[in-house]
Amino acid sequence: MTKRVVVAGASGFIGRRLVDAYRAEGATVSTIGRSGADAVWGDHEAIVRLLDGADLLVNLAGRSVNCRYNARNRAVILRSRIDTTRELADAVRSAEAPPRLWVNSSTATIYRHADDGPMTESTGEIGSGFSVDVATAWEREFFDGELPSTRRVALRIAIVLGNGSVMPPLIRLARFGLGGPQLDGRWFATRARRRAGTFHEYRATHGRQRFSWIHIDDVVGVIRFVEANEHIEGVVNASSPNPSDSASLMATIRRLLGVPFGFPAFRWMLELGSIAIRTETELVLKSRWVVPERLTAEGYRFEQPDLEPAIAQILSLAKGSRTR
């Protein structure tokens, strides 16, 4: 019997790769999204029809956090995760034959700024601030209520590396000679930003803030692994077992590109640049030190466990894309 997979939020970087991977192996893949999908958000009956009899539901829906955290964007970021997860839960409960497994995206940002030790599922400490509040509310909504026929797994996904997403801007920075370490420093904070939890507090990491990552092929691999191991449920860290740090990341990119030097980026430069390109410094200054304790214990073998070979593969793919 042909496997049936439903992917919500399939238009994003991970979603497109996941849809292609499952279709390549012969699965029937249906999508849920705002437009151009097999079912659109708000059409309860159509979503129920897709989920009824499906083997796997993967929810990747949610507004990108790569934006300024003003009041409007904060509301959209939160609502786009909570409302879609709640809508899917209602549809799963309405299905006569609900999906056996529901994998919901979460984020490794749920853990605190960590430069003193790795965060695991069993010992990791939940952080504070807007991004963490979104992550905890998202997981709370996902695990709320009973779904007796559906196993639930929340993937706390680290920064995803692949031919797209965060890599093109990092490559451009390196090529332009700006691929040095991102250095934290003191910066003024308004009361509003402190209240909203959007201000990044200074820590003297000297550009060595930890960088937890996962190759996009392993995101797909982890979902397949969770599907095959029916005893796995709850939260799972989806991150490479070999996290790096910001300075080493940029040095690796420069080395593979043949760029001999990269100027460092100081906090004031990052703050002004973030305003200009409409993003937040937290995305590069927070130290994310996350390791996949559960996946390692269960025997998952990463396709790309090490940073330099992973980036080399991505650069090769990017070069191939440009020459076609």
Distance CA 18, CA 272 (A): 36
Residue 10: what pLDDT?
94
Distance CA 276, CA 284 (A): 15
Number of residues assigned to the chain: 324
Residue 185: what pLDDT?
92
* Token couple for 101: 């497994």
Residue 278: what pLDDT?
87
Q: What share of the chain has pLDDT > 70, as a percent?
A: 98
Amino acid at 238: A
Total tally of structural domains belonging to the chain: 1
Measure the CA angle with vertex 132, ends 302 and 286; round to 5°. 70
pLDDT at 309 exceeding the cut of 90: yes
Residue 324: what pLDDT?
53
**pLDDT tens, position by position, 11-28:** 999 999 999 999 999 999
> 71-85, 245-259, 310-324 — which is least confidently predicted?
310-324
Look at residue 207 and tell me if it is in a domain: yes
* Token couple for 70: 């003003």
**Is the separation of the CB atoms in 287 and 226 below 8 Å?**
no
Distance CA 64, CA 10 (A): 13
Look at residue 80 and tell me if it is in a domain: yes
Helices (DSSP H) in 41-70: which residue ranges? 44-51
Closest CA to 287 of 215, 201, 172: 201
Residue 322: what pLDDT?
60
Three-class HEC string of 84-128:
HHHHHHHHHHHCCCCCCEEEEEEEHHHECCCCCCCECCCCCCECC
Higher pLDDT pick, 44 / 177 = 44
| pTM for the predicted model, two decimal places | 0.94
**Is the separation of the CB atoms in 240 and 278 below 8 Å?**
no
Look at residue 23 and tell me if it is in a domain: yes
pLDDT at 323 exceeding the cut of 60: no
Residue 35: what pLDDT?
86
* Token couple for 126: 């939940």
pLDDT band at 38 (very low <50, low <70, confident <90, very high): very high
Distance CA 71, CA 239 (A): 30
* Token couple for 253: 């990119």
Look at residue 63 and tell me if it is in a domain: yes
pLDDT at 32 exceeding the cut of 70: yes
Order of strands across the sheet with 164-165?
Answer: 164-165, 159-162, 213-215
Residue 276: what pLDDT?
84
**Is the separation of the CB atoms in 119 and 111 below 8 Å?**
yes
Residue 318: what pLDDT?
80
Residue 165: what pLDDT?
85
**pLDDT tens, position by position, 136-193:** 999 999 999 999 999 999 999 999 999 988 898 889 889 989 889 899 999 988 898 8
Look at residue 324 and tell me if it is in a domain: no
> Where residue 129 sits, what CATH number does that domain have?
3.40.50.720
Element (H, E) at 307: helix 307-323
Mean pLDDT of 265-274: 90
Q: Which domain holds residue 272?
A: 4-319
Q: Is 69 helix (H, G, I), strand (E, B) or coil?
A: coil
Higher pLDDT pick, 119 / 1 = 119
Look at residue 110 and tell me if it is in a domain: yes
Widest pairwise Cα distance in the chain:
60
**Is the separation of the CB atoms in 248 and 307 below 8 Å?**
yes
